[in-house]
């Protein structure tokens, strides 16, 4: 087992990894930007290193400084979390070249599946249904010709993307070039890679994803699905597991597809296959996230498996601690992403000092966060500041429990979307399970 892990991330996921490492008896090294000097993950870790200025490109995306910090502090592994460099094949390759374990898949797997266009082709080769689309598009003129061939509306997506960034819908010939330029510029800003591809835009589907994990001993196991259909601008806001609407025969077929595809590329560590599903429950692969995801806690709550600990164990060369037959669904779980944003003012990001923080508690309630009273939320990073997760025997129990937890959650000093979540959990269509990716726009006018 590793002795010391560097965590190449910040916020709640860095705190989450630190806690998992502690439970395994492993020391941790936090990295931080000058804006995060007082961050919780820095205070909780065994050691810490400043890797640059407040902008991500100077710190959390600075490969040379991060690897130098790992070497300086004697780390034998790096956990990338999600976002930042977690799906960067070059970073994974450099980590491996320095004889440091990368707690994630190989750089070859990231290159194949982390690149959305390559992932599509791989899925086609292995018989997994995909949305009609293209490979990497070189320029707007080529993209327009392909969009006309596919048929509008089309989705322009960053090849190296994730989290809804670098993703835009073009509805017509007239707005294609402007939308294409917006998507490529956003992709360059978020990922340092402006390459994009096109997909047919299927309006208001269900967004279903399957969690899996593989080890170096040839084992690949799925941990069932999550329903991530409550979204705004393609960014998930609420996730739940399992998916209430999914037929058992479709669930089984999707599970078989993801395990088959993962084994075909010798995938190791945690990953997620994402699908969209129409009203007839036809499903189409859209991308694979070659990392742990924000919404992994709902899977942990229904399976009782600590995915971060399992990631660490697998990266150290250990076999999975469970078999497919041992993974069973126990109850239900729902997660709310608490974002620092003023949702009544066009979701404007909100930074500032946390004046007062009260977190909910009780049986089956979990909060993953890097916040504390007095912490200054910086304006340079993703707006998510906490995750509120509940679990129970049924979906209805989880909804009731989430309502109470949202009432208890107090974050003063910044704007948050707590009130928006509260409205969702009191919407009859959501309670009845009648929702898709168009829910917020349709029922709450967001």
Q: How much is the CA Rg of the chain, to the nearest whole Å?
A: 21
Tokens of 141: 């003129």
* Beta-sheet strands, E only, within 245-362: 269-277, 283-289, 332-339, 341-342, 348-349, 352-353, 356-358
| Residue recorded with tokens 């010939």 | 173
Q: How far apart are CA 116 and CA 124, in angstroms?
A: 12
The Cα angle at residue 394 between residues 390 and 395, in degrees rounded to 5: 65
Q: How far apart are CA 4 and CA 10, in angstroms?
A: 17
| Residue 403: count of CB within 10 angstroms of its CB | 14
Sign of CA dihedral 106, 111, 116, 118: negative
| DSSP state letter for 318 | P
The Cα angle at residue 417 between residues 415 and 420, in degrees rounded to 5: 135
Q: Residue 95 in 3-state DSSP?
A: helix
Nearest CA among 236, 349, 362 for reference residue 295: 236
* Beta-sheet strands, E only, within 57-132: 77-79, 101-102
Q: Which of 10, 168, 226, 291 is catalytic?
A: 291
- CB neighbour class for 167 (10 Å; exposed up to 12, middle 13-18, buried from 19): buried
Q: Residue 446 in 3-state DSSP?
A: coil
| 154-162 and 196-200 strand pairing | antiparallel
Residue 224, CA distances (Å) to 42, 255, 259, 283, 337 in order: 33, 7, 11, 15, 21
Q: Please report which helix (H) or strand (E) contains residue 223, including its range.
A: strand 220-232
Q: Please report which helix (H) or strand (E) contains residue 124, including its range.
A: helix 116-125
Residue 403 appears among annotated catalytic residues: no
CA 180 vs. chain centroid, Å, equals 24
Q: Which residues, 6+ apart, have CB-to-CB distance to 378 below 8 Å?
A: 35, 36, 54, 351
Positions marked active-site: 291
């Amino acid at each position: 087992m590793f002795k010391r892990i560097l965590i190449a991330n910040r916020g709640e996921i860095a705190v989450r990894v630190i806690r998992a490492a502690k439970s395994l008896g492993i020391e941790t090294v936090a990295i931080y930007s000058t804006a995060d000097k007082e961050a919780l993950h820095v205070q909780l870790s065994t050691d810490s290193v400043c890797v640059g200025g407040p902008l991500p490109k100077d710190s959390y995306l600075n490969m040379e400084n991060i690897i130098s910090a790992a070497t300086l502090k004697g780390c034998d592994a790096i956990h990338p979390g999600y976002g930042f460099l977690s799906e960067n094949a070059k970073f994974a390759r450099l980590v491996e070249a320095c004889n440091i374990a990368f707690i994630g898949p190989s750089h070859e797997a990231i290159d194949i599946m982390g690149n959305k266009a390559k992932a599509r082709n791989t899925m086609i080769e292995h018989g997994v249904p995909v949305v009609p689309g293209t490979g990497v598009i070189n320029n707007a003129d080529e993209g327009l010709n392909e969009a006309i061939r596919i048929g509008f509306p089309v989705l322009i997506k960053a090849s190296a993307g994730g989290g809804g960034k670098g993703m835009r819908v073009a509805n017509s010939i007239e707005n294609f070039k402007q939308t294409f330029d917006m998507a490529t510029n956003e992709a360059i800003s978020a990922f340092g890679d402006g390459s994009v591809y096109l997909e047919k835009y299927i309006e208001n589907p269900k967004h279903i994803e399957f969690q899996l994990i593989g080890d170096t001993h040839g084992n690949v196991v799925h941990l069932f699905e999550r329903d991530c259909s409550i979204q705004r601008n393609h960014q998930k806001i609420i996730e739940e597991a399992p998916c209430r609407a999914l037929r058992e025969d479709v669930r089984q077929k999707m599970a078989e597809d993801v395990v088959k595809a993962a084994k075909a590329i010798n995938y190791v560590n945690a990953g997620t296959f994402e699908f969209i599903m129409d009203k007839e429950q036809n499903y189409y692969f859209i991308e694979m996230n070659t990392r742990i995801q924000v919404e992994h806690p709902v899977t942990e709550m229904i399976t009782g498996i600590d995915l971060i600990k399992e990631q660490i164990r697998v990266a150290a060369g250990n076999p999975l601690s469970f078999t497919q037959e041992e993974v069973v669904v126990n109850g239900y779980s729902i997660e709310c992403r608490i974002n620092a944003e003023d949702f009544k003012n066009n979701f404007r990001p909100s930074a500032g000092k946390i004046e007062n923080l009260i977190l909910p508690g009780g049986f089956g309630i979990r909060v993953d966060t890097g916040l504390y009273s007095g912490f200054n939320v910086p304006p340079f990073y993703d707006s998510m500041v906490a995750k509120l997760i509940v679990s129970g025997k049924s979906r209805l129990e989880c909804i009731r429990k989430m309502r109470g937890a949202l009432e208890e959650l107090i974050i003063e000093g910044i704007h948050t979307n707590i009130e928006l979540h509260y409205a969702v959990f009191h919407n009859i269509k959501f309670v009845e399970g009648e929702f898709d990716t168009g829910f917020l726009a349709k029922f709450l006018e967001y």
